[in-house]
Amino acid sequence: MIVIDYKDRRPIYEQIIDRVKMLIVKGVYQPDDPLPSVRTLAMELSINPNTIQRAYQELERQGLIYSVKGRGSFVNGTESVIEEHHKKMLADLKEAMAKIVEAGIDKQAVLKLVEACYGSMELKKNEGGASE
Amino acid sequence: MIVIDYKDRRPIYEQIIDRVKMLIVKGVYQPDDPLPSVRTLAMELSINPNTIQRAYQELERQGLIYSVKGRGSFVNGTESVIEEHHKKMLADLKEAMAKIVEAGIDKQAVLKLVEACYGSMELKKNEGGASE
Amino acid sequence: MIVIDYKDRRPIYEQIIDRVKMLIVKGVYQPDDPLPSVRTLAMELSINPNTIQRAYQELERQGLIYSVKGRGSFVNGTESVIEEHHKKMLADLKEAMAKIVEAGIDKQAVLKLVEACYGSMELKKNEGGASE
Amino acid sequence: MIVIDYKDRRPIYEQIIDRVKMLIVKGVYQPDDPLPSVRTLAMELSINPNTIQRAYQELERQGLIYSVKGRGSFVNGTESVIEEHHKKMLADLKEAMAKIVEAGIDKQAVLKLVEACYGSMELKKNEGGASE
DNA sequence: GTGGTCTAGACCACG
DNA sequence: GTGGTCTAGACCACC
């Protein structure tokens, strides 16, 4: 479920945050589902529990999960979370686009790329999710 | 010409690199134009000369400028530079798009945003370049 | 009567203590009334009996209840309990006030808020006790 | 300036956050003033640098300070910060008051306490800030 | 068993 | 020198 990429230059805890966020937004983690415990996940990924702890803490701060001493960490109600996530994605896109139009890149090239991205997604779906 | 923003979390040397790149891509710096000397620029921005040095070194490594001992640093031929810059922009866009399709955002919303970006650019052009 | 809120970050045993205290102070539990048995309450709330046990122990330590082996736990005389509760409330208020004067907040604003709180109480009373 | 109280049961990093917040709100730390460096303050308080780091990170997240690698941590512009702080204080007071009126404590007792708090403040001022 | 805090010490990137 | 990340290992409170 949760993986880390050592090639990725971003800190591990940030990768975990993104990963969990994604799983929540995609609905793989449902509200009140328990997350893997700090220690378990740390062992699984063979990293330090503190790093997981930090990721979970940030997720709690952002209101995506809640943790209870002695019981574990759980997914929060989501509705607004997903919407906010979408907004952020589009804001990022807008930023990238601003640079692109500033650089004078052809609109057709952009549209082609967008189509390609959506195309590849459909391909993956048809192949089935059995991979990994 | 070259400014730094201390509130910006990116390292200063990176801000300088980006700034110079932008000036080259936009054609403000023409091939074989001299860049400000390390010491001059350092004083102007009141930062450590090492920081400028590092930025120039990186720019040379990337092939955008060349340095001549005792004379200074100069802009290289720019054709390939611009092309590479475009490639990078598109790579960034692709990354943003990947997250977007993953989040299941509607294709129409994306296309609309793209159109909007190109639309606003044309508007700005017609208004004249006084903005920025 | 006694409920727990898993979203509440405070430990369960503490929530139970507070809840019982409140019921005593409010007069719902009269002196020598029996409290629900540890096992009953544990089942009712579907939590570990140890947790109830701990809450009752703490309540006994504070002198609010007394336990008789083989018979159960009972409410103690309440006069002093209420008084102590009042003291604690005022101590909390004093702490909040300390921060307020430190922050330099206007005295009038505070007095206004105090009046408002007492005002709203009278309102509620007159409306009847159906609330809560 | 910044002190920690080992009697206080709250975590050290939280005490530091509150302390810095207070100093900013009170205007002792002005915008763009540098905070003590992570290591310096850690030594001064003889605690681990990580603990300071954590406090500063949280303060940055809350928008009260900004940190730059290799340069240090600095106070942010404040206006809205102070206002928000005041609001929070009053919300806390309101919460304490709600419990007080619920417990049926006399209004006069409350007003007396409020007066006392403001009185003690004036006393301190007149004594002069030379203490400590 | 769970999460939360802290320490000691390391390494990196930056100026 | 600065801040940022991570590890290893400890202790606490809670269930």
Query: Which of D35, D91, D84, D87 has the alpha carbon at shortest distance from D62?
Result: D84
User: Of C39-48, C121-130, D59-68, D76-85, which gets the smallest average pLDDT?
Assistant: C121-130
CB–CB contact C9 A68 (8 Å): yes
Nearest neighbour of B7 by CB, restricted to D66, D69, D70: D66
Provide the 10 A C-beta neighbour count for residue B110: 22
Confidence of residue C25 (pLDDT cuts 50, 70, 90): confident
User: Of B93-102, C105-114, D14-23, D121-130, which gets the smallest average pLDDT?
Assistant: D121-130
Tell whether A61 is within 8 A of chain C (Cβ): no
Tell whether D28 is within 8 A of chain C (Cβ): no
Is pLDDT above 80 for D94? yes
User: Which residues, listed in sequence order, are joined to residue C67 by a DSSP beta bridge?
Assistant: C73
pLDDT of residue D131: 47
Consecutive H or E run containing B126: helix B107-127
- Measured CA distances, D114 to C98, D89, D96, D99 (Å): 9, 14, 13, 16
Contact assessment for residue C97 and residue C87, using Cβ atoms and an 8 Å cutoff:
no
pLDDT of residue A132: 43
Nucleotides on chain E within 7 angstroms of protein Cβ: 1-10, 13-15
Q: What is the DSSP code (8-state) at residue C4?
A: -
Task: Identify the closest residue of chain A to B88 by CA–CA distance.
Answer: A100
- Over residues C67-123, the pLDDT tens digits come to 999 999 999 877 888 888 888 889 889 988 988 998 888 999 999 999 999 887 777
pLDDT of residue B125: 64
Contact assessment for residue B90 and residue B51, using Cβ atoms and an 8 Å cutoff:
no
pLDDT of residue C16: 95
Instruction: Check if residue D44 sits with its Cβ under 7 angstroms from strand E.
Output: no
Is pLDDT above 70 for D115? yes
Which residue is the nearest neighbor of F1, CA to C1'? D70
Confidence of residue C11 (pLDDT cuts 50, 70, 90): very high
Is pLDDT above 90 for D130? no
User: Of B7-21, C24-38, D56-70, D78-92, which gets the smallest average pLDDT?
Assistant: D78-92
Nearest neighbour of C94 by CB, restricted to D85, D101, D113: D113
Query: pLDDT truncated to tens, each residue of chain A (132 aa)?
Result: 899 999 998 999 999 999 999 999 888 999 999 999 999 999 999 999 999 999 999 999 999 999 999 999 999 987 888 888 899 899 999 989 988 998 888 899 999 999 999 987 777 667 755 544
Which of D88, D101, D122 best tests the C interface by mutation, with the highest count of C CBs <10 A? D101
Measured between alpha carbons, how far is C62 from D24 in angstroms, rounded to an integer?
40
Is pLDDT above 60 for D90? yes
Which residue is the nearest neighbor of E3, CA to C1'? A69
Segments of chain B with pLDDT less than 70 = 121, 124-132
Measured between alpha carbons, how far is B48 from A126 in angstroms, rounded to an integer?
56
Contact assessment for residue A17 and residue A4, using Cβ atoms and an 8 Å cutoff:
no
Instruction: Check if residue A69 sits with its Cβ under 7 angstroms from strand E.
Output: yes
Instruction: Check if residue B60 sits with its Cβ under 7 angstroms from strand E.
Output: no
Measured between alpha carbons, how far is D67 from D57 in angstroms, rounded to an integer?
8
pLDDT of residue C3: 92
User: Which residues, listed in sequence order, are joined to residue D67 by a DSSP beta bridge?
Assistant: D73
| Whole-prediction pTM | 0.84
D chain contacts of residue C111, beta-carbon cutoff 8 Å:
111, 114
- Residue C100 CA and nucleotide E4 C1' are separated, in Å, by 29
Tell whether C7 is within 8 A of chain A (Cβ): yes
- Residue D68 CA and nucleotide F4 C1' are separated, in Å, by 10
For chain D, helix (H) and strand (E) counts, in that order, are 5, 2
- Give the 3-state secondary structure of residue A47: coil
Q: Chains with ≥3 Cβ pairs under 8 A against B?
A: A, D
Confidence of residue C8 (pLDDT cuts 50, 70, 90): confident
Measured between alpha carbons, how far is B97 from D122 in angstroms, rounded to an integer?
61
C chain contacts of residue D98, beta-carbon cutoff 8 Å:
117
Measured between alpha carbons, how far is C12 from A69 in angstroms, rounded to an integer?
10
Mean pLDDT, residues D105-123 taken together: 88
Tell whether D68 is within 8 A of chain B (Cβ): yes
Which residues are within 8 A (CB) of C44 and not within 5 positions of it... i.e. 6 or more apart? C2, C36
Token duo for residue C86: 């009042």
Measured between alpha carbons, how far is C15 from C9 in angstroms, rounded to an integer?
10
- What residue type is D121 in one-letter code? M
Q: Chains with ≥3 Cβ pairs under 8 A against C?
A: A, D
